[in-house]
């Protein structure tokens, strides 16, 4: 569906000295995963230049493909240094990137794997949204709209294919050159799928409870240690939208404890004469504490402020009210988007019930990692 925007077409040739495994077809394009006996092979094909990023897995290096003179970002993972849990994340990221195909999701061209290292050849993004935000915050409504529309489109695409990103934050949104419009400053690419999961996958029950994002982007249902769904990604879109429009985090304080309390109990401060009523209304719909009331990623795209369709909102509300009436009158009680509301006000789903101990352990260690990174 999105083939035309992919920077590369499938290359039919098989490289010498490598075992080729074209694992998944992605809308007519496949990602090659080439097993190589030694890393030298990659250096014969690409000119490696400066480091352009680093993470817990290793480094990202700018490289030019010798045959085409095309530049790529190469994520290099040292298997021994990365450790077992990081390797699982890298493996998960590769598997997911092999299947996705969307203009606002980072494009994985191919993977080279030697006994010691993994090289992910990714489309090169020259800028980071977070760095631009630090420079130019707050963003205008026009710029914020552009980013949110693309992000909501990418996230609704992921959710339709049962993928939950689980680590949506400004730092994981990169900016690329728009091939269709050279003047476009905010052509986004959602990246870093290390914590993503496929909802229908094996072991999904524990994975859905091991949430591991950064605390400022965490929704209340995670912090209250209830179970959660893909709507955690929607909450993160709301945090990013607030950050862009107001130039600050919606929930911020001196300690993590206080931030958590604010996320669970306080409303963000929406008072700012510069931000329009419609944008605030949308923010309130996204940052609903109760995920059952939170709008979905595809509903965000339909929002009148974003889509400039003024007339739609009223009709939407009537349809929503009818839907709500229908679910509430159901003999099995209200069930919305796979979540059931229990009498104590807790939200649970038998397929994704929280393993609290696992959650706390994973979350604490992940927070430490995030803090270290800063």
Ligand X SMILES: Nc1ncnc2c1ncn2[C@@H]1O[C@H](COP(=O)(O)OP(=O)(O)O)[C@@H](O)[C@H]1O
Binding-site residue set for ATP: 75, 171-172, 192
Chosen residue from 36, 63, 108, 122 binding ligand X by CB under 6 A:
122
What is the nearest approach in angstroms of ligand X to the Cβ of residue 359? 20
Verify binding: residue 282, ligand X, rule CB under 6 A.
Answer: no
Q: How many residues bind ligand X (CB under 6 A)?
A: 19
82 versus 300: smaller Cβ distance to ligand X:
82
Chosen residue from 121, 125, 207, 240 binding ligand X by CB under 6 A:
125
Verify binding: residue 55, ligand X, rule CB under 6 A.
Answer: yes
Verify binding: residue 106, ligand X, rule CB under 6 A.
Answer: yes
Which residue, 150, 88, 80, is CA-closest to 115?
80
How far is Cα 172 from Cα 193, in angstroms, rounded to an integer?
A: 9
Is 167 one of the catalytic residues? yes
Interface residues toward Mg ion, by CB under 5 A? 172, 192
Verify binding: residue 77, ligand X, rule CB under 6 A.
Answer: no
168 versus 282: smaller Cβ distance to ligand X:
168
The active-site residue, picked from 153, 167, 233, 349, is 167
**Residues 105/34, Cβ–Cβ less than 8 Å:** no
Task: Look at residue 289 and give its three-state secondary structure.
Answer: coil
CB count within 10 Å of CB 75 equals 26
31 versus 122: smaller Cβ distance to ligand X:
122
Roughly what angle, to the nearest 10 degrees, separates helices 141-160 and 231-246? 170
Verify binding: residue 61, ligand X, rule CB under 6 A.
Answer: no
Mask of contacts with ligand X, 128-167, x by CB under 6 A? x---------------------------------------
What is the nearest approach in angstroms of ligand X to the Cβ of residue 199? 21
156 is in the binding site of which of Mg ion, ligand X, none (Cβ under 5 to 8 A by kind)?
none
173 versus 306: smaller Cβ distance to Mg ion:
173
What is the nearest approach in angstroms of Mg ion to the Cβ of residue 55? 6
Q: Which two tokens stand for residue 45?
A: 């094909």
Verify binding: residue 87, ligand X, rule CB under 6 A.
Answer: no
How far is Cα 352 from Cα 276, in angstroms, rounded to an integer?
A: 38
Burial class (CB in 10 A: 0-12, 13-18, 19+), 77: buried
Annotated binding site: 75, 171-172, 192
Verify binding: residue 52, ligand X, rule CB under 6 A.
Answer: yes
Residue 177's alpha-carbon distances to 122, 147, 247, in angstroms, are: 14, 14, 24
**Residues 119/112, Cβ–Cβ less than 8 Å:** yes
Task: Look at residue 46 and give its three-state secondary structure.
Answer: strand
73 is in the binding site of which of Mg ion, ligand X, none (Cβ under 5 to 8 A by kind)?
ligand X
CB count within 10 Å of CB 290 equals 15
Which residue, 54, 58, 59, 70, is CA-closest to 11?
70
339 is in the binding site of which of Mg ion, ligand X, none (Cβ under 5 to 8 A by kind)?
none
Only one of the segments 35-43, 191-199, 235-243, 298-306 lies at the binding site for ligand X (rule: CB under 6 A); that segment is: 191-199
Verify binding: residue 108, ligand X, rule CB under 6 A.
Answer: no
Where helices occur in the chain by DSSP H, the ranges are 40-45, 79-82, 84-99, 129-136, 141-160, 204-209, 220-223, 231-246, 256-265, 277-286, 297-302, 304-307, 312-328, 356-373
Give residues in contact with ligand X (CB under 6 A): 52-53, 55-57, 60, 73, 106, 122-125, 128, 171-172, 174, 191-192, 194
List, by residue number, the catalytic residues.
Answer: 167
């Amino acid at each position: 569906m999105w083939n035309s925007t992919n920077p590369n077409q499938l290359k039919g040739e098989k490289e010498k000295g490598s075992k080729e495994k074209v694992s998944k077809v992605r809308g007519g394009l496949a990602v090659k995963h080439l097993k190589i006996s030694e890393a030298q092979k990659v250096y014969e094909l690409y000119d490696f230049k400066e480091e352009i990023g680093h993470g817990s897995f290793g480094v990202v290096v700018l490289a030019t493909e010798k045959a085409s003179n095309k530049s790529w970002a190469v994520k290099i993972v040292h298997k021994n240094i990365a450790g077992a849990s990081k390797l699982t994340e890298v493996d998960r990221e590769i598997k997911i990137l092999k299947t996705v195909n969307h203009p606002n999701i980072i494009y994985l061209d191919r993977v080279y794997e030697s006994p010691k290292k993994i090289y992910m050849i990714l489309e090169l993004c020259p800028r980071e949204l977070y760095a631009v935000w630090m420079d130019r915050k707050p963003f205008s409504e026009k710029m914020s709209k552009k980013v949110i529309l693309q992000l909501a489109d990418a996230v609704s695409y992921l959710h339709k294919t049962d993928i939950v990103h689980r680590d949506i934050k400004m730092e994981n949104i990169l900016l690329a050159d728009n091939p269709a419009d050279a003047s476009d400053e905010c052509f986004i690419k959602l990246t870093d799928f290390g914590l993503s999961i496929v909802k229908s996958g094996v072991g999904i029950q524990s994975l859905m409870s091991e949430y591991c994002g950064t605390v400022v982007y965490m929704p209340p249902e995670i912090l209250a240690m209830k179970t959660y769904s893909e709507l955690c990604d929607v909450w993160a879109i709301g945090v990013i939208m607030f950050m862009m429009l107001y130039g600050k985090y919606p929930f911020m304080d001196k300690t993590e404890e206080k931030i958590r309390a604010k996320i669970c109990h306080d409303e963000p401060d929406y008072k700012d004469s510069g931000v329009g009523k419609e944008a605030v209304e949308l923010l309130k719909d996204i940052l609903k504490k109760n995920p059952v009331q939170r709008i979905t990623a595809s509903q965000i795209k339909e929002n009148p402020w974003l889509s400039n369709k003024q007339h739609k909102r009223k009709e939407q509300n009537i349809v929503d009210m009818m839907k709500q009436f229908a679910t509430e009158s159901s003999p099995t009680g209200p069930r919305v988007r796979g979540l059931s509301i229990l009498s104590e006000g807790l939200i649970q789903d038998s397929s994704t019930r929280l393993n609290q101990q696992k959650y706390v352990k994973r979350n604490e260690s992940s927070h430490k990692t995030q803090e270290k990174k800063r």
